[in-house]
Amino acid sequence: MNREQQRAKNAFAVVHGGGLGKEKDFLTLARQLPTMFQTNGLLASWTFLLSKASKEKRHRRVLEACLTHLGSVGLVEASDGSTPEEVLKTWLGHEGREPLGVTGLQRITEEAILYSVWLKRAAEAVLTGAAKQAAAAPEGGGAP
């Protein structure tokens, strides 16, 4: 499986997996995520999402999805931490650790942007009204 396929697989697994909070709100956040990463960068975006995560389920779910994906492609290791908060501290060099270098930050940011595009696509495909109605349509087309 190539990296693009892995991004798609991971994104659709998140959207189909539930735990998104209000679907409309998750869809809105998923649509904003690629631009957020591109405009503000990984660290500022991650911190913003963390600031909202304790009150809003969709922010926590997006962070967990990104963290899981980054781990699945080898950009975040178990030693970096298992929660979004721990990983941010590792990237920033807390507790005597070496902060993430420019090259590492660029690689992770690039992957976060590419993954967030797939998360947006998956959310739009699964959570929009037309897709939900098609999935709920009765077998046989409905009309006699």
List domains and CATH numbers for the chain: 3-129 (1.10.520.30)
In SS3 terms, the chain reads as CCHHHHHHHHHHHHHHHCCCCCHHHHHHHHHHHHHHHHHHCHHHHHHHHHHHHCCCHHHHHHHHHHHHHHHHCCCCCHHHCCCHHHHHHHHHCCCCCCCCCHHHHHHHHHHHHHHHHHHHHHHHHHHCHHHHHHHHCCCCCCCC
pLDDT means per 10 residues, the chain with 144 residues, are: 95 88 90 97 97 92 95 90 92 89 96 97 86 55 50
pLDDT of residue 144: 47
